[in-house]
Amino acid sequence: MLLALRQAVLERSGEKCEYCLYPEAFAFLSFEIEHVVAEKHGGSTTLDNLALSCPYCNHHKGTDLGSLDPETGQLTPFFNPRTQSWTDHFRLDGDLIAPLTPEGRGTVAILQFNHPDRVQERQRLIQAGEYPP
């Protein structure tokens, strides 16, 4: 990937995961440039299809485009940070990320936003005044 493209994704993101909003500055592992629509599904390596992702979100999302809404069982795309607004689909509920929409529910479930380890890390950042960024 071109260094300039990587830099543009990083700057646009505010250096936080565009899925769970975790700030890269407090992460142990480097964040990754993620294809919102994976290349195997025809997604391009262009700014409008790339997002900054923490390794946890990126690992759990993989090349998936969506999942079954845990509430309705309907096939639903994941939250798309390029075309959708985070606050339309999620809200912070204490130290948990609560979904507001079917896309939000599938994303929270599959990307495991509220895994106990991640909630514990988020709690530390909230107490330090560093989350949400």
- Which residues in this chain contact Zn ion in the complex, by CB under 5 A? 17, 19-20, 54, 57
Amino acid symbol at 7: Q
Tokens of 5: 């493209």
- Tell the smallest beta-carbon distance from residue 7 to Zn ion (Å): 20
- Tell the smallest beta-carbon distance from residue 60 to Zn ion (Å): 9
- Tell the smallest beta-carbon distance from residue 75 to Zn ion (Å): 23
From residue 19, alpha-carbon distances to 2, 3, 4, 23 in Å are 23, 22, 22, 11
The nearer residue to Zn ion, 28 or 73, going by C-beta atoms, is 28
The nearer residue to Zn ion, 57 or 108, going by C-beta atoms, is 57
The nearer residue to Zn ion, 17 or 108, going by C-beta atoms, is 17
Rounded to 10 degrees, the C-alpha dihedral 62/22/20/114 comes to: 100
